[in-house]
Amino acid sequence: GQQLNQSPQSMFIQEGEDVSMNCTSSSIFNTWLWYKQDPGEGPVLLIALYKAGELTSNGRLTAQFGTTRKDSFLNISASIPSDVGIYFCAGHGYGQNFVFGPGTRLSVLP
């Protein structure tokens, strides 16, 4: 089946730093989603992207739908301790189920 790759797999940053992560696919997608999962909980939707080149913000989070439609990027500015968790990307083509990436695990050091 389709697979998504996320990079990096994990990252340790200092509080206040900016974070960048990305997601790539071997297939073209029509929609990209970014989720955050806190330990022991279900993922929560952060940002949804529907058009190639689209740039969307949600507070300190900014995500972009890559122009090739095979990738997406998530940036977090001025990280805080509650940003800790696993960030998943998900994409789908028309009429298909969403495919999820393996996640980027973020740790924030005080």
Partner 1 sequence: DGGITQSPKYLFRKEGQNVTLSCEQNLNHDAMYWYRQDPGQGLRLIYYSQIVNDFQKGDIAEGYSVSREKKESFPLTVTSAQKNPTAFYLCASSIGRGQASGYTFGSGTRLTVV
7 binds partner 1 (CB under 8 A): no
In which region does residue 88 sit, left (phi positive, over 0), alpha (psi from -120 to 50) or beta (all else)? beta
Task: Name every residue whose Cβ is closer than 8 Å to that of residue 44 and which is 6 or more positions away in sequence.
Answer: 35, 36, 37, 38
C-beta of 24 vs 31, nearer to partner 1: 31
Per-position x/- string for 62-101, each x denoting binding to partner 1 as judged by CB under 8 A, each - no binding = --------------------------x-x-x-xxxxx-xx
**Residue 8: cis peptide before it, omega within 30 degrees of 0:** yes
Binding residues (CB under 8 A) for partner 1: these are: 1, 4, 9, 30-31, 33, 35, 40-45, 48, 50, 88, 90, 92, 94-98, 100-103
